[in-house]
Amino acid sequence: MTKFTLFIVSDSVGETAGLVTKAAASQFRHDLETVSIKRFSYIEENSQLEEIVFLAKQQQALIVFTLVKSQMRKQLHLLCEELKVPAVDLLGPLIDKMGDRLKQVPFEEPGLVRKLDDDYFKKIEAIEFAVRYDDGRDTRGILEADIVLIGVSRTSKTPLSQFLANKGFKVANVPLVPEVDPPSELFSIDPAKCFGLCISVEQLNSIRKSRLETLGLNDDANYATIARIQQEIDYFNRITTRVGCNVIDVTNRAVEETANTILKAFSARKAN
């Protein structure tokens, strides 16, 4: 059985080259026995390349590499030609073609794809968190959240939570109802991460009437009356005073505007 050694060389972890080489090796019988894979990660110096190529020559290895810096790729090509070591450049040709098509110069910064992946999974985790802890379903989320939103019904807590989650922030939101005591967790967190959403009585009255009509109900229900709304807002004011949190007036404001206000306050808190 023919066996050979394969060197994976990368200026990052080398996951991309590892997946591609395993996919290629899987096309041959007994690939795990046939191919011995050695990984060389975080290669940043020409001297490291010299040692790897020399070792590859001794072991008659095939080099597969993902190097984002053009200078490093050129150096490895030269070394491999000089010692007659076979090599496959997985990224270089594609980067060059894309640069020509986009008319842009590549960043040549190792590990960017891993950073993008981390950001993506962080966003997915935040979105799942916002769904899990929406509308006060589980008060444990208050303690784990980056941002906590509180407010009476129909103050855009849920869409705001989802918007912030898409920015990678874990958000829990809690409805405030006079007949229900607020969760105790609300008074044990850092007030700076909690934001109360207030709204004018008139706009909330209009929003709730529209909501009732959408549901096919009479718009004169207690839920939408001025007296009930004023009662809820008074209760909201008492709770936000106890919590000591920031209060944002969302009257006639888009979700994006409110989110930007929260993110600025959040950033300022982290900077201090």
For 87-133, give the DSSP string.
EEESSHHHHHHHHHHHT------TTHHHHHHHHHHHHHHHHHHHHHT
Q: Is 155 marked within a binding site?
A: yes
For 216-256, give the DSSP string.
T--TTSGGG-HHHHHHHHHHHHHHHHHHT-EEEE-TT--HH
Q: Is 210 marked within a binding site?
A: no
Q: Is 153 marked within a binding site?
A: yes
Which tens digits make up the pLDDT trace of 121-173? 888 899 999 999 999 989 999 999 999 999 999 999 999 999 999 999 999 99
Q: What percent of the chain has pLDDT over 90?
A: 67
Evaluate the CA torsion angle 95, 101, 102, 103 in order and state its sign. Answer: positive
Q: Is 157 marked within a binding site?
A: yes
Which tens digits make up the pLDDT trace of 80-134? 999 999 999 999 899 989 998 888 888 888 777 666 667 778 888 999 999 999 9
Q: Is 193 marked within a binding site?
A: no
Q: Is 209 marked within a binding site?
A: no
Burial of 103 (0-12, 13-18, 19+ CB in 10 A): exposed
Which tens digits make up the pLDDT trace of 28-40? 765 556 678 899 9
Residues 157 and 262: their CA atoms lie apart, in Å, by 13
Q: How far is CA 74 from CA 44, 60, 77, in A?
A: 13, 21, 5
Burial of 85 (0-12, 13-18, 19+ CB in 10 A): buried
Q: Note the pLDDT of residue 1.
A: 53
Higher pLDDT, 267 or 194: 194
**4-110 and 119-271 have identical folds:** yes
Residue 7 φ then ψ, to 5°: -100, 130
Least confident of 3-17, 105-119, 251-265: 105-119
Closest-CA residue to 177 (of 135, 213, 217):
135
Burial of 59 (0-12, 13-18, 19+ CB in 10 A): middle
Q: How far is CA 247 from CA 28, 126, 133, 239, in A?
A: 64, 23, 21, 11
Closest-CA residue to 108 (of 97, 95, 119):
95
The CATH number assigned to the domain with range 4-110 reads: 3.40.50
| Total-model pTM | 0.62
Beta-sheet strand order (sheet of 194-198): 171-175, 147-151, 194-198, 246-249
Q: Is 264 marked within a binding site?
A: no
Residues 248 and 196: their CA atoms lie apart, in Å, by 6
CB count within 10 Å of CB 135 equals 13
Q: Is 41 marked within a binding site?
A: no
For residue 63, what are the β-bridge partners?
7, 87
1.10.10, 3.40.50, 3.30.1490, 3.30.460: CATH of 119-271: 3.40.50
Residue 217 φ then ψ, to 5°: -110, 165
Tokens 């303690």 belong to: 143
Going from N- to C-terminal start, the domains of the chain cover 4-110, 119-271
